[in-house]
Each structure stands twice: as C-alpha cells, then as structure tokens.
A and B are shown apart, each in its own frame.
Chain A
Amino acid sequence: MTPLELVSQQFAAEIIETHSYRGDQTAVIRPGALLAVAKYLKNTPELAFDYLMDLTAVDYLFYAGGRVQKEYRFEVVYHFYSLSKNHRIRLKVPLDEKNPEIDSLNDLWKSANWYEREVWDMYGIKFKGHPNLKRILMYEEFQGHALRKDYPFNKRQPLIGPQN
C-alpha cells in the first residue's frame, strides 16, 4: 500500500480530500488531527517518515482571480520524506482567516522549529506549543506578514523603532 492509502485508511474520518496530482501523494486533513497523523507517519514502521523536509503555507485569498472560492484562506503544507523507504507524502491543513493556529511539530522533528517560525513570520499563522515563535527573516518591529496576498509586493516599511 502506498503511504497515502495507509493514511487514508487509518484516518478516514479526518481526511477532507486526497489526490496524487503529478505523482505527489497528497492528503488534506482536518487541523485537529495533525498531531495524530504526524505521529502515525513518524512511528509506523511501514511509513517511517523520519524527515520533515519542508513546511510552508499558501494564502488562497482571491485564488485564481476569485474564480475559485475556497472555504478557507490558508493552507499549511508539510512535505515528509522517508529515508529508509524512499517515499514522500504531502499533508495539507486548511486554516481559517480568523486566528489561524495549528499544533507545532517541533517535538517530533527538530526541523519544524525554524520552518514554523518562518511561516509565522510570513503568514502570521501561530503554532501551538512552539518554544520560540518569533520572526526569523524580518525584524521584530515589522508590521504585517509579507507573503499574505493582501500585503502589496511593493509596499515599503522603514525600520520603525524608538526615536533617538
């Protein structure tokens, strides 16, 4: 069985949809199930996902010029890789616009620490249980979250801070 089939079987109630577009096995899951699915991915011998290769987010505000209406605004996207099995899976977690928050995977994979900081920095998505959730690319005083679609790409922000 492929990783996607195993996950779909185990967490049938938590899966919103699955696809394998262009060969990338993908499962969209409910936000509440993330920790359970992640533990399953890591600890099941047939899956053995020992790598959290990448963690990012996508903002779907006005996706496709508004032609496609998504029920949610953000998706947090996880790419896992297994060294021993040499397979990959992608998990996606939809999040609402209001107070987007999701469990941190920092306790399972150390790589989550910085990736989650970057997602917080760029999208303003909070990670519950993260030990040190602060900006990583931008400076602390930066206003807003730069990769959100409603942040203009040519907006400038002079460094703001205490006046001399």
Chain B
Amino acid sequence: MATQTRSMLLNVGPSHPAMHGVIRLVMELEGEKIKGVEVEMGYLHRAFEKMCETVMYNQCFPYTDRLNYVSPLINNVGFAMTVEKLLDVQVPERAQYIRVIMSEISRVTDHLTCIGATAMELGAMSAFLYMIKAREYLYELVEEITGARLTISYVRIGGVKADLTEGFADRAFAKIAEVRKVLIEADELLTRNRIFFDRMKGIGVISKEDAISYGITGPFLRSTGVALDLRKANPYLIYDRLDFEVPVGTTGDNLDRYFVRMAEAEQSLRMIEQCLEQIPDGPVVGQLTGEVMKAADMVDHAKMGETQGLEGFQVDLDPTLQGGTKKYQAGIKVNRRDVVLPAKEETYGNIEGLMNHFKLTMYGHGIRPPMGEAYGTVEGANGELGFYIVSDGRDNPWRVRVHPPCFPIMAALPQCLIGGSMADLVPTFGSVNMIAGELDR
C-alpha cells in the first residue's frame, strides 16, 4: 500500500511569545520543513493615514511617534522634513544637528532592541538584558531632552521642541562609552557563541536581486552587499559633514544582518560624537539671565492688560518646553511666522504675538503649505522611511502616505523561510525587525 503524506498547517501568532509584534503566519509544514507561508497582517492597523487627514500638520506628530515605536524620533524627523519640503523651509543649523543626534540615538536603540530580542528568542537571555540596559542609557538621554521616552512628539515643523540641556554633551559622551562597553560584551557573548552562530549562519538568505525587486532597503538590503544608505546616497540635514561608513554583508543571511546592525550601531555612536563636537553654540539651557518672570505670572499680567514693559522680561518655563521662549527660539526654530509658534514672551506680552499664536493653532488657519505634493525620505532604522504628502492649500493634509521600511521586508519573508526548517522561523523573523506599528500603521 502506498503511503500518503499530508502537510500540516500551523498558526504562528497573532499573539505568540516568539513573535515580537502582532502578526499571524500561517505555516504549511512537511515534518520540520516549511513548505508555504502566508503572512497575515493588519492587527495593529490604527488608520494612521486616515487620521492624519483629519488633523493639522503639527498634530500629526503624536501619530508618527507610534509608527516605529522603537525609534520614534526618526519618524518625527521624516514627517517634519517632508512638510518642510512642501513649505520650502530650511531649519537652523543647530536644529539640524539636534535632529541628527536624536535620530542616531534612536537608531542605536532600534538596533539594540532588534539584536537583543533575536538573541533572547534563541535563548540568550543575558545578551538581551545587557542590550536593554544599554538602551536604557540612551532612553535616559532621550528623556532628558524630550521629556518622554517613547511618545516623544519632539520635532516640530520648522525646528524642534526644546534645546539641548546644560551639560548634555558630557552626559552623552559618558553614556556612549557605556553603550560601547555593552556592544563589546554582546559581541563576546554572541559572535563566538556556537549556538547563536549556527542558528544564524546561512539561514533566511535573500539574494541581492530579490531584495531589490521586493523594494527592500536598510540593514536587510545592506546584508546582501548593496551599500545603499540614504545618509550617503542623498545626504539630508548635516549628514554630509559627518565621517561614517556604511557596513555591508556578503551573503544576506541572518548572521550578516546581525553583523551589519552591530557595525551600524557603532557608526551611529561615532556620528553622535561628531555632532556633539561640531554643533554650533546655542544658548546654554539652565540659569536665565536678566529679568525673569514665571510664565503663569506673565499670563496674568497680560490678561489684566498690563503689557507695558513686559517685553523686557524672559519667561521661565518647564525645561522640556524651553524651546518656546525667546532665548532658544532662534537657535532651534526657523524664523517663519506662518510656520513656527511665536516665542512665549510674544504670545503673553503683545497682541500681535497672541494673534500669531492663534492663527497657527485654530482649525481652518494653522500651517498651510501651498497646493502641491512632495515625497520626503529619511534613512530609518529599518530602511527608507518615506512620506508622501499632498496638500490642498488648507491646514490639514489632503493625503499622508507612509512608506514603511518593514512592509517590503515582510512581503519577502515567505521567500526567506520556505525550504528552511520550522525552528529557523525564530531567528529569521527576529532579524527582519518587524515593527507592527509601522507595518500596519
């Protein structure tokens, strides 16, 4: 009698301990071999694009925080740069440096999370804890500047919300040194680790041609040997002034992606150091000189009509909002009344400033880019993060489209998995670095 073989269907996800993020893979198995994979996504769809159409431009930032929630600052920067392209606005040099510093910090946190989670899923719990420790150092820096750790909403159209704090550079150098130590530790724990090595080497391979045809960018593409990095290919902000390398792999397997990410984390740390050395001087945050008034007091005076002599005063404001006062405004925000809120001294102290403020915050007024369209890109932690924005000349965008970098990678995932064994799913899926927030939007 002839034997019959049947394949087995196995659902992985949408909520599964080895899937960091909600996604469902319907696997067709023949013994341990994967015969077919169907990717089912959309479990974290929150209608980002639709919601952006209903709010004003600056109100989109909280939504962008939640795209790639491991490196939200890069999303902020990408969105702001696209709207600035529509408005034809150049942000001040200091703000550009701050944006690069924050983006690169985010890139390191993203890579640390990705490598750490992959290692953890392969059983290397201590490597994961070390890397999360390093991520914590960087989150402390982010928290110091933005006032939040994840939902930072830090970038504004035309600049950034707040200036760097006093002594930030010294603390950043110290934290970078700590992160470097962790990277070395992780390298020692993982790279020569037989178990880790064997489960990564030659697994989840994708060819250069396939990666390009699928539209893949970022570390996933660079692991195949293509040195495409938007920071080099099409330098934006001040990346052309920085000295850094684009690490590439050769075979496009999981191990190469691990090496590329490790090397990139180091390059990003180098970039932060260079930025901190090059950044033009701004006012040092901290002690205010001259006549100072509490923001609430100034508002009270202004409400009573006692605006005489108020222009001489400086406003004392919460540290995370200090970019809003006269002292910092020039360094970190572009001088355009139709784009940037006036300094708080202006808003509280005279009617023109108050009107200016309302003109930018009332529905139907706000920032109104001229009718047109623009596609802006930044190099996200996963690859090209693109925003395509259509403006109809009104204060809310007509269309906001996000090109999420892990979307094409997920489309290519079945190709990486088919033919391999079921256990290979875990390291391959880890090295894809799927972020459901940006995949499903």
* A111 and B440 contacting across the interface, CB-CB below 8 Å: no
* A137 and B45 contacting across the interface, CB-CB below 8 Å: yes
* A153 and B47 contacting across the interface, CB-CB below 8 Å: yes
B401 at the interface (CB under 8 A from A): yes
A58 at the interface (CB under 8 A from B): yes
Q: CB within 8 A of B411: which of A51, A83, A111, A153? A: A111
Select the stretch in A5-13, A32-40, A63-71 that faces chain B. Answer: A63-71
| Chain A: minimal CB distance from B214 (Å) | 5
* A86 and B401 contacting across the interface, CB-CB below 8 Å: no
How many residues on the B side are at the interface (Cβ–Cβ under 8 A)?
44
* A68 and B392 contacting across the interface, CB-CB below 8 Å: yes
* A22 and B388 contacting across the interface, CB-CB below 8 Å: no
* A77 and B392 contacting across the interface, CB-CB below 8 Å: no
A109 at the interface (CB under 8 A from B): yes
* Chain B residues whose C-beta falls within 8 Å of the C-beta of A52 in the assembled complex: 215
| Chain A: minimal CB distance from B365 (Å) | 14
* A53 and B215 contacting across the interface, CB-CB below 8 Å: yes
* B392 and A63 contacting across the interface, CB-CB below 8 Å: yes
B255 at the interface (CB under 8 A from A): no
Task: A14 to B215: give the CA distance in the assembly, Å.
Answer: 27
* Chain A residues whose C-beta falls within 8 Å of the C-beta of B411 in the assembled complex: 110-111, 113-114
A15 at the interface (CB under 8 A from B): no
* Chain B residues whose C-beta falls within 8 Å of the C-beta of A86 in the assembled complex: 233-234
- Whether A109 contacts B213 in the complex (CB less than 8 A), given A77-B388, A146-B47, comes out as yes
Q: How does the 8 Å CB contact mask read for A74-117 relative to B, with 1 for contact and 0 for none?
A: 00010100010010101000000000000000000111011000
| Chain B: minimal CB distance from A141 (Å) | 13
* Chain A residues whose C-beta falls within 8 Å of the C-beta of B372 in the assembled complex: 21-22
| Chain A: minimal CB distance from B325 (Å) | 32
* B403 and A111 contacting across the interface, CB-CB below 8 Å: no
* Chain B residues whose C-beta falls within 8 Å of the C-beta of A68 in the assembled complex: 371, 392
Q: CB within 8 A of A54: which of B86, B214, B401? A: B401
* A53 and B398 contacting across the interface, CB-CB below 8 Å: no
| Chain B: minimal CB distance from A21 (Å) | 5
* Chain A residues whose C-beta falls within 8 Å of the C-beta of B384 in the assembled complex: 53
* B375 and A79 contacting across the interface, CB-CB below 8 Å: yes
* A136 and B41 contacting across the interface, CB-CB below 8 Å: yes
Task: A147 to B412: give the CA distance in the assembly, Å.
Answer: 25
* Chain B residues whose C-beta falls within 8 Å of the C-beta of A114 in the assembled complex: 407-408, 410-411
* B212 and A51 contacting across the interface, CB-CB below 8 Å: yes
| Chain B: minimal CB distance from A71 (Å) | 16
* A110 and B50 contacting across the interface, CB-CB below 8 Å: no
B374 at the interface (CB under 8 A from A): yes
Q: CB within 8 A of B403: which of A22, A54, A110, A138? A: A54
* B214 and A111 contacting across the interface, CB-CB below 8 Å: yes
* B214 and A58 contacting across the interface, CB-CB below 8 Å: no
* Chain A residues whose C-beta falls within 8 Å of the C-beta of B399 in the assembled complex: 58-59
* B386 and A24 contacting across the interface, CB-CB below 8 Å: no
Q: How does the 8 Å CB contact mask read for B382-416 relative to A, with 1 for contact and 0 for none?
A: 00101010101110001101010001101110000
Task: A90 to B376: give the CA distance in the assembly, Å.
Answer: 12
B93 at the interface (CB under 8 A from A): no
Q: How does the 8 Å CB contact mask read for B52-68 relative to A, with 1 for contact and 0 for none?
A: 01100000000000000
Task: A77 to B49: give the CA distance in the assembly, Å.
Answer: 15
B85 at the interface (CB under 8 A from A): yes
- Whether A111 contacts B394 in the complex (CB less than 8 A), given A54-B403, A90-B375, A136-B41, comes out as no
* A79 and B214 contacting across the interface, CB-CB below 8 Å: no
For A111, give the chain B residue with the smallest CB separation.
Answer: B215
| Chain A: minimal CB distance from B321 (Å) | 30
| Chain B: minimal CB distance from A120 (Å) | 13
Task: A86 to B235: give the CA distance in the assembly, Å.
Answer: 12
Q: How does the 8 Å CB contact mask read for B220-256 relative to A, with 1 for contact and 0 for none?
A: 0000001010000110000000000000000000000
* Chain A residues whose C-beta falls within 8 Å of the C-beta of B440 in the assembled complex: 137
Q: CB within 8 A of B398: which of A58, A138, A139? A: A58
* Chain B residues whose C-beta falls within 8 Å of the C-beta of A24 in the assembled complex: 373-375
* Chain A residues whose C-beta falls within 8 Å of the C-beta of B214 in the assembled complex: 110-111
| Chain A: minimal CB distance from B406 (Å) | 11
* B393 and A64 contacting across the interface, CB-CB below 8 Å: yes
A18 at the interface (CB under 8 A from B): no
* B386 and A79 contacting across the interface, CB-CB below 8 Å: yes
- Whether A138 contacts B42 in the complex (CB less than 8 A), given A58-B399, A83-B226, A110-B411, comes out as yes
* A63 and B398 contacting across the interface, CB-CB below 8 Å: yes
* Chain A residues whose C-beta falls within 8 Å of the C-beta of B371 in the assembled complex: 64, 68
* Chain A residues whose C-beta falls within 8 Å of the C-beta of B53 in the assembled complex: 153
Task: A113 to B414: give the CA distance in the assembly, Å.
Answer: 13
Task: A104 to B210: give the CA distance in the assembly, Å.
Answer: 18
Task: A137 to B373: give the CA distance in the assembly, Å.
Answer: 25
* Chain B residues whose C-beta falls within 8 Å of the C-beta of A59 in the assembled complex: 399
| Chain A: minimal CB distance from B346 (Å) | 30
Task: Give 25 pairs: A residue, B residue, CB < 8 Å, sorted on A.
Answer: A22-B88, A22-B372, A24-B374, A26-B373, A53-B386, A54-B375, A54-B388, A58-B398, A59-B399, A65-B392, A68-B392, A79-B386, A79-B388, A79-B403, A83-B228, A88-B375, A109-B213, A110-B210, A110-B213, A110-B412, A137-B41, A137-B45, A138-B45, A139-B42, A153-B54
Contacts from B to A (Cβ < 8 Å): 41-42, 45, 47, 49-51, 53-54, 85-86, 88, 210, 212-215, 226, 228, 233-234, 371-375, 384, 386, 388, 390, 392-394, 398-399, 401, 403, 407-408, 410-412, 440-441
7 further A-B pairs in the complex, CB-CB below 8 A; given A24-B373, A111-B411: A22-B86, A22-B374, A54-B215, A56-B388, A83-B228, A110-B210, A147-B50
